[in-house]
Every structure is written in C-alpha cells, then in structure tokens.
Chain A
Amino acid sequence: MWSFNNIADSIHKWLNLTFNPTLATIIEMVIVGVCVIGLFAVLGLVLVIMERKVSAWMQIRLGPNRVGPKGMFQSLADTVKLLVKEGMTPSGADKFLFNLAPYIALIVAMLLMAPLAFAKDFQMWDINIGVLYISAISSVSVISILMAGWSSNNKYSLMGAMRSGAQIVSYELSAGFSVLSVVVLAGSLNLNTIIQSQADGWWIFKGHIPVIISFIIFIIAVTAETNRAPFDLAEAESELTAGFHTEYSGMKFALFFLAEYVNVFIVCAIGATLFLGGWMPLHIGHWEGFNHIMDYVPSSIWFFGKTFFLIFLIMWFRWTFPRLRIDQLLNLEWKYLLPISLFNILLVTAMAILGWYF
C-alpha cells in the first residue's frame, strides 16, 4: 500500500544512491520547498472556495456558481485577477517595510509547517520541542501585521495594526495555556510523542472535561490569533475599510490573504494534532476489532479530515458571531479566558499527577 512515508523514503534512497550525501540533502530541501509552496497554493484555492460556499449556505445564499462546475473554479479565476493586477505602493509609505511585510507573513506560515506531521512518519522536521517552536514562531506573525500597518502611512492601517498587536499578544497567553494542558498530560513537547500517546484514544476523550475546556479555549484563542471574525478587529471591513492591508493591492494583497488562510490551516492542524490525535485513527480503548478496521483508513486522510473539520468549525464561528469591540475583546481574554485557563491547567496538572485519565 502506498503512503507518503514510502514515497519520501524511496526518493531519499534514490537521491542518496545517485548523488553524494550533501548534494542529496540540498536537492531534498529544494523538493520540500517546492512541495510547501505547492501546498500553499492548493490550500489557498481550496480554503477560499470552501469559505465562500460555507458562508453562502449559512446565509441562505447560493455562493459562487458561474465559473466551472458549481463554481468550483472561482478561486482560480480570482487568483488570475490578482496576478494581473498592479501592485501599488503609496508615495508616502516606507517602501522597504511596505514591500517586506507580506513576505514575512508568508514566511512565518511556511516556518510553522515544518514540525507538523501530515501522515504517519511523514514530517519535515522532527524536533523534540515542536510545541515550543510553534508557539514561538506564531508570535512572529504579529510583526508582519505591525510592519504593514505602520509602513502604509494610513490611519486605518495603523489603527488595525495596533489593535491586532494588542489582540495577538493577549490571546497568545490562553492559547499557550491550553496547549500546555495537553503537554502536561502527554509529558512531551515533541509532536510525534504527543501523537503516539493518543494511540489508545484522543486526548479530548481521555482527558474528559478539563481537556474539553482547554480545547474550547484553544479554538477561541487561535481564532483571535489568526485575526478572523468574530475577532477580526485588525481588518474590520466596516470600520477600518480593511485595517492593516488597506493600502495593499494585487499580488502583495494576495500574499496576506494566502497567509491568513494558511495560518488557519496550520492552527487547525495543531489543534487536530494536540487534541484529536493528528494522523492517529480513532481508537477506542481495547476494542481490537474496531481499532483494526480504523487502521485501514490511511493516516493522511485522518489528519486532513480532522484538520478540515476544525477549519469548518472556525468558519462556522465566523459566519455566526458578530464582531467584538476592542474593550470587549480584551475583557474576554483577561477577565474570562485567562482565569479559566489558569484554573484549568491546575485541574489538568492534578489529573496528570493522580492519573485520573484513561
């Protein structure tokens, strides 16, 4: 049976037989880079059409239905339109930072891809501090937003960027705490070990109520961190026109747009890895027969299925809830989410020490 792991192994073997090890490593890096860029493009296309269809159906509309069968090529047409559009730079802008910002947003998203396990034994970089790496890198994304807002020489952009800064800095705390609760239970920062620890049941089932609470907090916090509604104050079409990317157009705007969707995918993949077992099939305790049947479904399908389920959840939030005001946003974090997650981490720690999980 083919799997991502087998393909990667055979390519690795063939490269090492044909070239010397250094050259083989360099070629492998190039292949991985191309694959990541390809995945970005595919994710952008798929998630945009998914978002538009989901939003349409939730608002009793039809959504895009003209380009291709049932409008499925709409995002392709949008991409072509963005590619041929002129990328303007305002004359009062700080040109260097203005042009750099979208690339930083994209590079952060690319770096976050590295420790994710897409399928069984299929990972770009297996590091023992994967969770720490992810939480460290994801806080860099605020720099690109601040950079874009500040260099645009536009009041709306600056205001959006400042809001986004306050928002990401505060929500990182509760996101960190909810991630920490799984780390406490699994006893490791390595994403592979965390996935292996869920072989007899995912943490959301094994850790019962405290882990469910931290899962909910995680979903709320990452929605805020990716600047999506109901926490999209940084963009806020109705008040700030588009927030930090008001002045961007053409491909530079498309890069911001792409980075947003890829970030959504990444945070959902992290959520799926930590709480829903990553590529691990649905295993229930010692039901050998059931577990055996579940093992027949390829691990990559499990991973992408769970990730897209979480993406759908976040889209569902976006098209249901109204946007919060900035003071309500910070109230929610500092008065509700943070105390609850602090109390929750205490519960989880007690549970881990006393062994009160399955």
Chain B
Amino acid sequence: MFITKYIKEVFKAVKSLLIGLRRTGYYFTHHKEIITQQYPDNRETLHLPERFKGEVVMPHNENNEHRCTGCTACELACPNGTIKVITKFDITPDGKKKKAIDKLVYHLELCTMCNLCIIACPSDAIVMAQTFEHSVFDRAELTKILNNPGSKIMEGVE
C-alpha cells in the first residue's frame, strides 16, 4: 500500500533523526567526553600513544654501542630515499675485514614516518621515537646522522 509505506517512511525518518539528536545531546551534556588536547599548555603531562611515530632514532647502550650491522636493508626498504647507509671496513683482532657502518644518514625532511625501515631492520637497530617538535630554522639541521660519533657495534650482533 502506498499510504502505509509513506507513513512508515515518515516515522522511520523522524526516528533516525531523533537518534542523531540523542547522540549530540549526550555529547553536549557530557563535557568529560571532550577529546581536545590543550597542546602547548600540557606539554609536561602530554601522553602519546605507544605506536606514535615521530622520527627514526638509533638507540645506543651505555658503552656507546649500537646494534646496526650496516646491511642496508632499511635503505632498500625506504620508499623515498630518506636513509643513506655509508659503510666502512673494520679490521677485526684476528686480521679479517668486517663490514660496519661509518654513518647512517637520515633525512627527516623527506621522511613520511611510514615505519617500513623499522620493519625491514633484521637486528632492531633503529626505532621510532616519540618526539614530534621538529621545526628548526635551517633546513640542513634536518639531515641527521643517527649513530653517535665513535660508536661501534654491540657484541654478539651479526
């Protein structure tokens, strides 16, 4: 029947509108639900989620040792050439040549925080840090060298 369908439509429409009004009315009366962060004011108490991706860093232990073997897996995984691994050859005590990193250059200005390098790294040498205030006055400051000067590879990492 046309007329019952018509009336049913009107009632369904009113009902769905009322559901929407109820939701916004709930938010209007419950100010605890507000999700806005007052950012510069709450810098001290700022809580970032665990998976937040700020920039790529290389953690070092207290003896200035990192876990990077210089395999260039991150460089190959990076979609836009953000990471450059410059390798050198170390001479081990028993006279053999061993590949190691000289510099791991990271271009923050090119990075899209896609996390592919961290996934590609076989020895968990690089991680995503939670810093995000990256603005600087000179663009050159965004090109970073991730390994500390004088650092060497950790014992037992191949």
Contact = CB atoms under 8 A, between A and B. Distances in A.
A286 interface: no
A77 to B, nearest CB: 19
B28 interface: yes
A59 interface: yes
B44 interface: no
Interface in A299-355: 316-317, 319-321, 336, 340
Closest 3 CB pairs of A and B: A58-B24, A320-B24, A62-B36
Interface of B: 10, 17, 20-21, 23-25, 27-28, 31, 33-36, 38
Nearest to B36: A62
Contact of B20 (A59, A60, A320, A340): A320
Contact of B28 (A57, A62, A336): A57
A76 interface: no
A54 interface: yes
Contact of B25 (A60, A316, A321, A336): A316
A57 B34 CA distance: 7
Contacts of B27: 57-60
Nearest to A317: B21
B10 A316 contact: no
Interface of A: 54, 57-62, 316-317, 319-321, 336, 340
Contact of A60 (B10, B21, B33, B38): B33
Contacts of B35: 60-61
B34 A61 contact: yes
B138 to A, nearest CB: 31
A58 B28 CA distance: 5
Contact of A57 (B10, B20, B23, B31): B31
A191 B79 CA distance: 72
The secondary-structure label for the interface of chain B is helix
Given A321-B17, A321-B20, 14 more contacts: A57-B28, A57-B34, A58-B28, A59-B27, A60-B33, A60-B34, A60-B36, A62-B34, A62-B36, A316-B24, A317-B21, A319-B24, A320-B17, A336-B10
B17 to A, nearest CB: 7
Contacts of A57: 27-28, 31, 34
B41 to A, nearest CB: 11
A207 B28 CA distance: 31
A55 B20 CA distance: 14
A340 B10 CA distance: 10
A61 B33 CA distance: 9
Contacts of A316: 21, 24-25, 28
Contacts of B25: 316
B10, B24, B35: which has the most chain A beta carbons within 10 Å? B24
Contacts of B17: 320-321
Nearest to B37: A62
Nearest to B23: A320
Nearest to A313: B21
Nearest to A62: B36
A61 B17 CA distance: 22
A59 B17 CA distance: 17
B36 A61 contact: yes
Contacts of B36: 60-62
Nearest to B21: A320
A62 B32 CA distance: 11
Contacts of B21: 316-317, 320
Nearest to B25: A316
A321 B27 CA distance: 15
26 contacts: A57-B27, A57-B28, A57-B31, A57-B34, A58-B28, A59-B27, A60-B27, A60-B33, A60-B34, A60-B35, A61-B34, A61-B35, A61-B36, A62-B34, A62-B38, A316-B25, A316-B28, A317-B21, A319-B24, A320-B17, A320-B20, A320-B23, A320-B24, A321-B17, A336-B10, A340-B10
Contacts of A321: 17, 20
A316 B10 CA distance: 20
A245 B21 CA distance: 29
B14 to A, nearest CB: 8
A336 B24 CA distance: 25
A59 B60 CA distance: 44
Nearest to A59: B27
Nearest to B38: A62
Nearest to B9: A336
